[in-house]
Amino acid sequence: MTDLATALETKITRGEARVGTLGLGYVGLPLSVEFASSGLNVLGFDLAAEKVAAVNRGASYIQDVPAARVKELLGAGRLRATGDFAELASCDAVIICVPTPLSKTKDPDLSPVVEATRSIAAHLREGQLVVLESTTYPGTTEELILPMLEERGLKVGQGFFLAFSPERVDPANPRYGTRNTPKIIGGVTPQCTRVATALYGRAIERVIPVSSTRTAEMVKLLENTFRSVNIGLVNEVALMCDRLKVDVWEVIDAAATKPFGFMPFYPGPGLGGHCIPVDPLYLSWKLKTLNYRARFIELAGEINSGMPEYVLTRVTDALNERERSVRGSRVLVLGVAYKRDVNDVRESPALDILRLLESRGARVSYNDPHVPELRMNGETLRSVDLMPAVRESDVVLILTDHSSYRYPEIVEHARLVLDTRNATRGLTSTRILKL
């Protein structure tokens, strides 16, 4: 190892290193808290003044991060937030945790990563470690970030260190959080990998080094492409079962009794969250530049993105059978978050379904105990009182199976329930229709 690498590793081991996290969202704040809890001094950076202010008063806006923990670390002097990027120069390690969305044309939008890297490059000093956690296509770290950081003359592996470590956040997961989810590390050089491994080893229970940044980048995309493709498969099986008049949920439960060679995935109204609907498209886009078509990814995306339209068809057919049209019918949507027991609506299929129902003239309302307000089409929608809305609606549409819902009571008082999540499992009623 170089002397600089040895010095940084020693500083990390002794708990003397300062860590900077760029982006204090779903990835950055939990990671900041874990590094601070490990005894390191952490400085969080964000452009949003309200996030900076919240951290600096000991508050938390992330569901999985208790405010008491933030307050404790703040009081101990191990956690602070700022919007002053000149303070990057004081950090020994800088971790990029900014969003990587898609553009309107479904191409990768790396502008947040580029802006974050520019801020780091402007204050880069000898001996610093830079790690990208934001999900992206293979090659980003070395093709995009590395040249920007080397512009001022420092060389990677000698003057500074660069690695990629994919975030693996699963909001509201009761078993796995930041600390006990294994961490993949891939550096540009062996020295980069070793220093980054030393850093994450302070806060994460298990760290797995891999041979390169490209490998680490591909790991993340494989994980979420695996989920996207298998959800696409089971969504298509649901469409098949509908035509075959077979209960898809019974089929899956029965297949899951096989102790080998099968892993259950479940159908739903579409894909949501930042990762699964987006990440496979990063890989598909990259492969197009190499004259290769990712056929499985494209087909799964086509099936998954078509599920909101299928849900609309099921609502329409169910109302028609009861001699009602969608236009003018009162539809209550239960759950607009993208998954159970979270307040995150990013890429939620519920938003598409709400728009589709409104475009057909339905009188739509929603209830979600985790999302009291929702911005759509320039308007603010508010979660309605549950049981009065259940009684007044022509159809109750379960899109997110929050654990706080009392499904027997909902079914008892609803005129019709269309359940896209099998939330009413075990209930028998002619008022229940399944996906």
Domain spans of the chain, in order of start:
3-211, 228-434
CATH architecture of 3-211: 3-Layer(aba) Sandwich (3.40)
228-434 adopts what CATH topology?
Rossmann fold (3.40.50)
Residue 275 is a catalytic residue: yes
Give me the tens of pLDDT residue by residue for the chain, a chain 435 residues long. 469 999 999 999 999 999 999 999 999 999 999 999 999 999 999 999 999 999 999 999 999 999 999 999 999 999 999 999 999 999 999 999 999 988 878 889 999 999 999 999 999 999 999 999 999 999 999 999 999 999 989 999 999 999 999 999 998 899 999 999 999 999 999 999 999 999 999 999 999 999 999 999 999 999 999 999 999 999 999 999 999 999 999 999 999 999 999 999 999 999 988 788 888 999 999 999 999 999 999 999 999 999 999 999 999 999 999 999 999 999 999 999 999 999 999 999 999 999 999 999 999 999 999 999 999 888 899 999 999 999 999 999 999 999 999 999 999 999 999 999 999 999 999 999 998
Neighbouring-strand partners of residue 94: 20, 130
Q: Which residues pair with 208 in a beta bridge?
A: 184
Q: Which whole-number Å values give the CA distances from 83 to 77, 205, 301, in the listed order?
A: 18, 30, 37
Q: Across-strand partners of 131?
A: 95, 163
Asked if 418 contacts 410 with a C-beta cutoff of 8 angstroms, the reply is no
Q: Do domains 3-211 and 228-434 have the same CATH topology?
A: yes
pTM of the model: 0.92
Catalytic residue among 91, 97, 241, 275: 275
Q: What is the DSSP string of 178-203?
A: TTTS-EEEEESSHHHHHHHHHHHHHH
Q: 296: number of CA atoms within 13 Å, CB side?
A: 12
Measuring CA to CA, how many Å separate 109 from each of 8, 138, 232? 33, 14, 24
Q: Pick from 216, 167, 166: which is nearest to 188 by CA?
A: 216
Gyration radius from the chain CA atoms: 24
